[in-house]
A and B are shown apart, each in its own frame.
Chain A
Amino acid sequence: MATLATREAYGLALKDLGDRNKNVVVLDADLSKSTKTNVFAKAHPDRFFNVGIAEQNLMGVAAGLAAAGKIPFVSTFAMFATGRAFEQVRNSICYPQLNVKIAATHAGLTVGEDGASHQSVEDVAVMRALPNMTVIVPADAAETRQAIDFAASYQGPVYIRLGRAAVPDVFGDAYEFHIGKAALLADGTDATIIACGVMVAPARHAAEQLISQGISARVLDMASIKPIDKEAITAAARDTGAIVTCEEHSIIGGLGSAVAEVVVENVPVPLERVGIMDTFGESGTPNDLLKKYNLTEEAIVAAVKKAVARKNS
């Protein structure tokens, strides 16, 4: 199965978007080789602007470009886009609802060896809390391409969370991403696994493993964290009676919280969250870190069994 990091897919999608839409401009803060905006820069040097290591100005310049009718895509690591420049994203972009697309790479633990200072585990939580912000966490290359095209066609701020490490393809080229809609990857009757980003592939494997253990699990890809697919979540709660969320992000404020909010307000059922347990990461290879922090197929299997047991108790 083909694998590609979502940041790599972003670089290619952005370049293609630039070919089609002359209004697209791209800004980076001295990380273009890592965020892959350098692919766009090479093809469209007149529409690429490096702002240097200055993330606050990065967001402000993007706001000004958007106010003057441009469609700016801005990239840096998720840590700096949402942490260092949080207030610029809030006050200069979200409050005036300017048409800025923040495609942040190197999100989560799979940054790997750089360690906790560079591993954003709370970016979805803070972006999701901002009024006017749309939040998307693509699972693979195909979904990333679709998310980029959606962002360009949508009027308003969008946060797209991308990863450093290669991830296996989940979707084929025929896949169509729709904002606010979950994608059904497998149907089931005993529990529903709702995953995003790098956790979608292990979620699907977990469901396959569970079949042999007599548990039938539905699997939903929830790339659209905000707006979230309330219908799919409430249907999952009604149909299967147990839910497990999986994300490479803190269990506080991210996908797990977003799903839990819908579940408790509509169809309260047992819910388990697989994610980073309110802690910082550390240095290591992406795979070693995913194992150490229990972001694995095995952890998802265990969480599903626990949720099903709670439902039946």
Chain B
Amino acid sequence: MTQKLTPQQLTELAERAKSIRGNILRMVTEAKSGHPGGSLSAADILTVLYFAEMNVDPATPKDADRDRFVLSKGHAAPVLYATLAEKGFFPKEELLTLRKVNSRLQGHPEMKKIPGVDMSTGSLGQGLSAANGMALAGKLDARNYRVYALLGDGELEEGQVWEAAMFAPHYKLDNLTAFVDFNGLQIDGPIREVMSPLPIPEKWQAFGWNVLVIDGHDYQAIYDAIQTAKTVKDKPTMIVAKTVKGKGVCQMENVVDWHGKAPSREECEKFLAALAGE
């Protein structure tokens, strides 16, 4: 049993997540394009990682001993940018430049442009391989950092994911923890209808991973899973996080159309109100 988050910590996490969700809505609305649904579903996972777990410091974003995070589902860039801004890696005002010409905030994350982004991603299926390499480098250099990756559930349809899935247990990368944002929806519809990657936990188990299944919106559950992963030796951990696409905005929840569509300004105001009254 891992340590209980204090009521103050839980309150802080809830406030951070709410701020991050609000900024996701504002930036996607301002950009008039982007991916709000899968950003909102992952917001609680990133909140716990960046505000209760990861050893990262905005003052030294390239520190060799820092923990790393790879957003393999790179289209959820808004949640990563909003989280990094919340953490202080760059000013929150810059979030409104998302997807605009000359902005550092590319439609999909670019590590050379923005402090705090550890890997350029966007083309699905490639992030876990990079996370493997970072974890392997950590082992080679006997550094104590941990590597985190977040994959989409639809992304599991990419073949490269399973090449990477084979690699991490083979090289005993127990410093690697990955998440599947299991929200059940992809662009063309429910994952089970488009091309089912189910059952998800059993697949990762069969590939040799330590697998945990949690509620991806329960801060204590996310925190506990991360702590458990740190105690497992010789195996990477996959945390299958059951989530709700569009989480936090009742009008967007489980609506497939909000995968890759920006709200209008009027809709954004309503959604922000819904978020505030959550």
Contact = CB atoms under 8 A, between A and B. Distances in A.
Contacts of B167: 51-52, 54, 57, 61
A63 B122 contact: no
A47 B140 contact: yes
Contacts of A257: none
Given A49-B171, A88-B160, A92-B120, A65 B126 contact: no
B138 A88 contact: no
Interface string A58-99: 011111111111101000000000000001100110011100
Contacts of A56: 125-126, 129, 159-160, 163
B204 to A, nearest CB: 16
Contacts of A88: 126, 129, 160
Contacts of A46: 140
B160 A61 contact: no
A92 B110 contact: no
Contact of A61 (B64, B111, B122, B133): B133
Of the listed residues A52, A54, A87, the one surrounded by the most CB atoms of chain B closer than 10 A to its CB is A54
A25 interface: yes
A92 B36 CA distance: 24
B126 A64 contact: no
Nearest to A88: B126
B166 interface: yes
Interface string A205-240: 000000000000000000000000000000000000
Nearest to B145: A68
Contacts of B125: 56
B129 A92 contact: yes
Determine chain A's interface SS by DSSP, over half rule: helix
A91 B118 contact: no
B141 to A, nearest CB: 8
Contacts of B159: 56
A67 B112 contact: no
A68 B68 CA distance: 10
Contacts of B111: 67, 96
Contacts of B79: none
A67 B163 contact: no
A95 B110 contact: yes
Nearest to A27: B133
Contacts of B237: none
A70 B64 CA distance: 12
B130 A63 contact: yes
A57 B140 contact: no
B137 interface: yes
A117 to B, nearest CB: 19
B137 A68 contact: yes
Contacts of A96: 110-112, 119-120
Contacts of B127: 60
B76 interface: no
A49 B125 CA distance: 21
A72 B160 CA distance: 19
Contacts of A49: 136, 171
B84 interface: no
B140 A70 contact: yes
Nearest to A85: B160
A57 B134 contact: no
B160 A62 contact: no
Interface in B104-158: 110-112, 118-120, 122-123, 125-138, 140-141
A216 to B, nearest CB: 49
Nearest to B131: A64
B164 A65 contact: no
A52 to B, nearest CB: 7
Interface in B248-272: none
Contacts of B118: 67
Contacts of A60: 126-130, 132-133, 160, 164
A277 to B, nearest CB: 33
Nearest to A100: B133
B160 A67 contact: no
B123 A91 contact: yes
Given A88-B160, A92-B119, A92-B120, 19 more contacts: A51-B163, A51-B167, A56-B126, A56-B159, A57-B163, A57-B167, A59-B129, A60-B129, A60-B130, A61-B136, A63-B133, A64-B70, A64-B119, A64-B131, A64-B133, A64-B137, A69-B137, A87-B123, A91-B126
Name the 7 nearest CB pairs between A and B, nearest first: A64-B133, A60-B129, A68-B137, A57-B163, A54-B163, A64-B130, A96-B120
11 contacts: A47-B140, A52-B166, A60-B129, A61-B129, A66-B133, A68-B137, A69-B137, A70-B133, A88-B126, A88-B129, A95-B110
